[in-house]
Amino acid sequence: MIVFLCLIAALVFAAVSGSIVAVIRDGYSARPERADYDSRQPHR
């Protein structure tokens, strides 16, 4: 029973960490573009 609970906890942890990594990657990939647009507009 304890091993079964550990397996469930591991799967949940893997899913959560995977989703967090995906969000972080999206944030890092989107931030430079937004920063470029924000920095280009005032100069124009």
pLDDT tens for residues 1-44? 899 999 999 999 999 999 988 888 877 766 655 555 555 555 55
pTM of the model: 0.50
Torsion of CA 15, 17, 23, 26, to 10 degrees: -100
- Terminal-residue alpha carbon distance, the chain: 65
pLDDT of the residue at 25? 81
